[in-house]
């Protein structure tokens, strides 16, 4: 309860018109989880630069590698304080074809400092930037989720976060980037392309995924890993555009009270959580069907346990004549840092538990713990480069998982 109150109090301290939040999962490229990282520090997305550092954006058009300095406090870890450097490496923007165009927050101190420690890889973090007026932010306060409870409380406050995406929003939960730029994205729907029924109501996750597959007929020819990632991105863009169609007109009209506004924001957040909760499972189920795999989705094993997928079927799982090594289970979680232990008892007959994730990297220590507990990570191929070399060699791609499952779990 003390930790719960601590986070709630922190939310209050960084709320108000002077604060803008950037919420993301820390990837291996943000921390020192990868051995070849020479300068640890989170990448700063272009949306953050545009909204939080407008003057730096102007400087980046004419100066080489513009930077600025400000103090930061990591409140979640004993008020760890440091003076940060935000540097925008912009050689590509200034005409070098093979140059860089990325910004990083650097000078966090030692390699085991809270934000850049390899053990923080996969953690959900809130960067609360302090800004007065229209200038660049002049200070930063940070909260790194320390456990599953804190992770869930942050998600309750701001809505679900996609690994590799992040959200820029006000402290009241109003998006300043994603919804507003959704129409610029390839799979975003416009008033002309949106189904008429969707203009009156938000479609279900199944409906959006069906529309995604219809919109990307060529995706069926892609390898399973690329198919999943392409459809995930398209689904995300499509949902955001539909949400914008419903949300933006409402935000243009005044609310009767602060409570009414917060209630509406809470409704939007809950809708995002509902979509995100089953999205990855539904995408995988569609790919497994396309690949001709036999499986049961969301069936109960022992007691009330319910793994995401059982191969080849739940009937086979309960068949006493089938050997244990002819069964497989797969759990699907967008991130695993604080959640992977939840799957350990989901299917007693299956010794090795496969876990698919979109998390961009884990530390060697986190991976060792998973391996010792019999967890096998399945990660889309394009994300393998985010993992330490020693881990990368032992992570399965989705394509390989499907091939192995087809051989091992014949109906």
Which residue reads 């538990």 in tokens? Answer: 353
Active site residue 387: no
Contact 356, 332 (CB under 8 A): yes
Q: Is the alpha carbon torsion for 37, 39, 42, 44 positive or negative?
A: negative
Q: Are 273 and 155 in contact (CB under 8 A)?
A: yes
- Indicate the SS3 state at residue 90: coil
d(CA 352, CA 345): 11
What is the DSSP secondary-structure string of 114-152? Answer: TTT-GGGTT-EEEEEEE--TTS---EEEEEE--SHHHHH
Based on the number of CB atoms within 10 Å of its own CB, is 303 exposed (0-12), middle (13-18) or buried (19 or more)? Answer: exposed
Q: What is the DSSP letter of 352?
A: S
**Peptide bond preceding 312 in cis form (omega within 30 of 0):** yes
Q: Given 22, 25, 236, 317, which residue is catalytic?
A: 317
How distant, in Å, are the alpha carbons of 169, 171, 259 from that of 15? 11, 5, 15
Beta carbons of 118 and 146 less than 8 angstroms apart: no
- Say how far apart CA 60 and CA 146 lie, in whole Å: 35
Q: Which residue has the tokens 């539904």?
A: 282
Neighbours of 54 (CB within 10 A): 14
Tokens 């456990």, located at residue: 147
Terminal CA-CA length for the chain: 49
Alpha carbon 66 to its chain's center: 29
- Among 22, 11, 67, smallest CA distance to 45 is for 22
- Whole-number Å distance between alpha carbons of 154 and 167: 12
Report which of 36, 405, 39, 84 is spatially closest to residue 224, judged by C-alpha positions.
Answer: 405
If you count them, how many residues does the chain have? 411
Kindly list the catalytic residues.
317
């Amino acid at each position: 309860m003390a930790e719960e109150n601590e986070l709630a109090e922190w939310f209050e301290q960084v709320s108000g018109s002077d604060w803008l939040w950037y919420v993301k999962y820390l990837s291996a490229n943000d921390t020192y989880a990868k051995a070849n990282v020479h300068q640890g520090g989170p990448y700063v997305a272009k949306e953050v630069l545009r909204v939080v550092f407008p003057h730096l954006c102007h400087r980046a058009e004419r100066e080489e590698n513009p930077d600025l300095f400000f103090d930061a406090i990591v409140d979640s870890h004993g008020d760890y304080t440091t003076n940060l450097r935000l540097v925008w490496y912009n050689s590509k923007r200034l005409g070098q074809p093979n140059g860089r165009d990325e910004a990083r927050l650097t000078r966090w101190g030692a390699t085991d400092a809270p934000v850049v420690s390899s053990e923080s890889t996969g953690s959900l973090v809130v960067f609360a930037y302090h800004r007065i007026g229209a200038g660049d932010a002049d200070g930063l306060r940070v909260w790194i989720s320390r456990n599953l409870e804190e992770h869930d409380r942050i998600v309750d406050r701001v809505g679900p976060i996609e690994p590799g995406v992040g959200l820029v929003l006000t402290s009241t939960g109003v998006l300043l980037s994603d919804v507003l730029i959704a129409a610029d994205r390839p799979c975003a729907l416009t008033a002309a392309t949106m189904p008429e029924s969707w203009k009156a109501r938000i479609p279900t996750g199944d409906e959006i995924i069906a529309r995604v597959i219809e919109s990307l007929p060529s995706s069926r020819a892609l390898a399973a890993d690329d198919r999943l990632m392409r459809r995930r991105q398209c689904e995300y863009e499509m949902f955001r555009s539909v949400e914008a169609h419903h949300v933006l007109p409402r935000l243009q009209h005044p609310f009767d009270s602060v409570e009414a506004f917060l209630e509406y924001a809470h409704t939007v957040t809950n809708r995002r959580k509902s979509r995100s909760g089953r999205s990855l499972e539904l995408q995988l189920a569609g790919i497994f069907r396309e690949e001709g795999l036999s499986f049961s989705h969301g069936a109960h094993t022992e007691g009330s346990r319910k793994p995401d997928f059982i191969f080849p079927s739940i009937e086979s799982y309960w068949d006493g004549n089938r050997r244990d090594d002819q069964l497989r289970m797969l759990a699907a979680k967008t991130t695993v840092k604080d959640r992977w232990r939840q799957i350990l008892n989901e299917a007693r007959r299956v010794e090795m538990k496969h876990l698919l994730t979109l998390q961009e990297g884990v530390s060697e220590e986190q991976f060792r713990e998973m391996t010792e507990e019999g967890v096998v990570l399945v990660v889309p191929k394009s994300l393998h480069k985010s993992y330490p070399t020693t881990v990368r060699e032992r992570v399965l791609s989705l394509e390989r998982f499907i091939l192995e499952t087809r051989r091992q779990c014949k109906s």
